């Protein structure tokens, strides 16, 4: 091999002496091309790896934070639910106590919970009473269940009058009344304006008429033609827990009174407001009334920051002379004003 001139090594081949800074290296008497180390390239790779690690850690941290927030919210919700249940049960006991304390006097709507003339002012007319217990504010309403129409025994003309009291079109009111009766009767023969299985199928419903008594007032929403808005308006006047007797008008809502008298709800409300104004002015003295019963619907609402956050609704059977002061028919707990 001819001598290699050091000055001729230009980095493009083994034409000069070994230059360890160049791309060529001699291995076993042979010249091989070796990619030179690039500090910039290796530094860029390291930077990318670091950024990936940081991004991964960030995602993990965000996921952990979200999980902790969810667990904290769930724990807070469980604590609030348990606290409200205890408060609501205390409120039901207090409502029963006020029902049994002395003979009640009209009117009953005393937001501050005060008595009238030393006599308990709590009667089952659905008016709100604010009660503070355990540092919390609770709104309590008591209703006489016998002051509602029983869905399983109410007559057609009463059902029709109930919808007419809400200013429903007369034809639609009659149709709804017939459909309700067709829902609860045992036969499959539709009434004049009613609906049976074929009518439900034709309207696109995945079910037909039940042909059995209503199990709950909420079931009314399944009847053909019953809209959510109309159900919310008519539901306060209905029950499935009646005793089959006549409606007790003493504590009936304006809706029920309007249906019984063939009038509009607004007219009854105006009359009640006029009577309340006369009582407040002393022109009409309060009158002694009984307590109704023995079935009472009690609604307890937890008021936090001026908002109604949780609600318990229960139906009790009051029996002062029985082995237990009252029994619970059912109990429902919901959010807000449910």
81-146+291-335 domain in CATH 3.40.30?
no
Q: Residue 183 pLDDT > 70, yes or no?
A: yes
Q: Residue 115 has what pLDDT?
A: 43
Q: Determine the Cα–Cα distance for residues 326 and 103; give it in Å rounded to an integer.
A: 19
Matching CATH topology for 81-146+291-335 and 149-280? no
Q: Residue 337 pLDDT > 80, yes or no?
A: no
Q: Residue 314 has what pLDDT?
A: 97
Which CATH number, 1.10.40.60, 3.20.20.105, 3.40.250.10, 2.60.40.10, labels domain 149-280?
1.10.40.60
Would strands 326-335 and 307-318 be described as parallel, antiparallel, or unpaired? Answer: antiparallel
The helix/strand/coil state of 301 is strand
- In the block, which residue shows the tokens 């070994």? 18
Q: Please write the tens of the pLDDT for every residue from 115-132.
A: 434 445 588 989 899 999
Q: Residue 287 has what pLDDT?
A: 63
Higher pLDDT residue, 133 or 119?
A: 133
Q: Residue 8 has what pLDDT?
A: 45
* Residue pair 138/303 in contact by the 8 Å Cβ criterion: yes
Q: For residue 142, what pLDDT band results from cuts at 50, 70 and 90?
A: very high
- In the block, which residue shows the tokens 């539709």? 190
Residue 307 forms beta bridges with which residues?
A: 304
Q: Determine the Cα–Cα distance for residues 59 and 201; give it in Å rounded to an integer.
A: 52
Q: Determine the Cα–Cα distance for residues 265 and 202; give it in Å rounded to an integer.
A: 34
Q: For residue 166, what pLDDT band results from cuts at 50, 70 and 90?
A: very high
pTM of the model: 0.72
Q: How many residues does the chain have?
A: 338
Q: Residue 238 has what pLDDT?
A: 97
Query: Half-sphere exposure of 80 toward its Cβ, with a 13 Å CA cutoff?
Result: 15
Residue ranges per structural domain of the chain:
1-30, 81-146+291-335, 149-280
Q: Residue 182 has what pLDDT?
A: 98
pLDDT average, residue stretch 220-243: 96
- Distances in Å between the alpha carbon of 108 and those of 191, 286, 300, 311? 43, 10, 17, 21
| Mean of the per-residue pLDDT values of the chain | 84
CA torsion 159→165→171→177, rounded to 10°? -10
Higher pLDDT residue, 151 or 66?
A: 151
Higher pLDDT residue, 305 or 254?
A: 254
Q: Determine the Cα–Cα distance for residues 238 and 259; give it in Å rounded to an integer.
A: 12
Burial 134-159 (b: 16+ CB within 10 A, else e): eeeebbbbbbbbbbbbbbeebeeebb
Q: Residue 137 has what pLDDT?
A: 93
Among 125-129, 276-280, 307-311, the minimum mean pLDDT is found in 276-280
pLDDT average, residue stretch 310-321: 93
Q: For residue 18, what pLDDT band results from cuts at 50, 70 and 90?
A: very low
């Amino acid at each position: 091999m001819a001598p290699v001139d050091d000055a001729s090594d230009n980095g493009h081949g083994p034409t000069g002496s070994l230059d360890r800074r160049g791309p060529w290296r001699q291995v076993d008497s042979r010249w091989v091309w070796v990619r030179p180390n690039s500090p910039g390239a290796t530094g860029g790779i390291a930077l990318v790896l670091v950024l990936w690690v940081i991004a991964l850690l960030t995602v993990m941290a965000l996921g952990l934070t979200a999980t902790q927030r969810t667990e904290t919210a769930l724990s807070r919700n469980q604590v609030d639910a348990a606290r409200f249940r205890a408060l609501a049960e205390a409120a039901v006991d207090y409502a029963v106590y006020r029902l049994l304390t002395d003979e009640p006097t009209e009117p009953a709507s005393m937001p501050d919970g005060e008595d009238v003339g030393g006599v308990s002012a709590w009667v089952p007319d659905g008016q709100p009473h604010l009660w503070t217990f355990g540092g919390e504010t609770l709104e309590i309403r008591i209703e006489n269940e016998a002051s509602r129409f029983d869905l399983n025994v109410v007559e057609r003309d009463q059902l029709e009058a109930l919808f007419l009291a809400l200013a429903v079109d007369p034809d639609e009111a009659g149709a709804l009344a017939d459909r309700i009766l067709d829902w609860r009767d045992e036969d499959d023969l539709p009434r004049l304006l009613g609906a049976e299985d074929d009518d439900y199928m034709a309207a696109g419903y995945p079910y037909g008429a039940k042909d059995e008594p209503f199990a709950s007032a909420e079931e009314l929403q399944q009847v053909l033609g019953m809209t959510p808005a109309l159900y919310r308006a008519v539901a306060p006047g209905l029950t499935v827990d009646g005793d089959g007797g006549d409606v007790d008008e003493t504590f009936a809502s304006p809706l029920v009174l309007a249906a019984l008298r063939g009038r509009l709800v607004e007219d009854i409300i105006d009359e009640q407001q006029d009577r309340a104004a006369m009582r407040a002015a002393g022109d009409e003295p309060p009158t002694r009334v009984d307590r109704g019963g023995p079935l009472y619907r009690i609604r307890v609402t937890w008021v936090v920051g001026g908002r109604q956050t949780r609600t318990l609704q229960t139906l009790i059977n009051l029996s002062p002379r029985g082995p237990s002061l009252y029994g619970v028919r059912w109990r429902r707990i919901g959010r807000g004003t449910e």
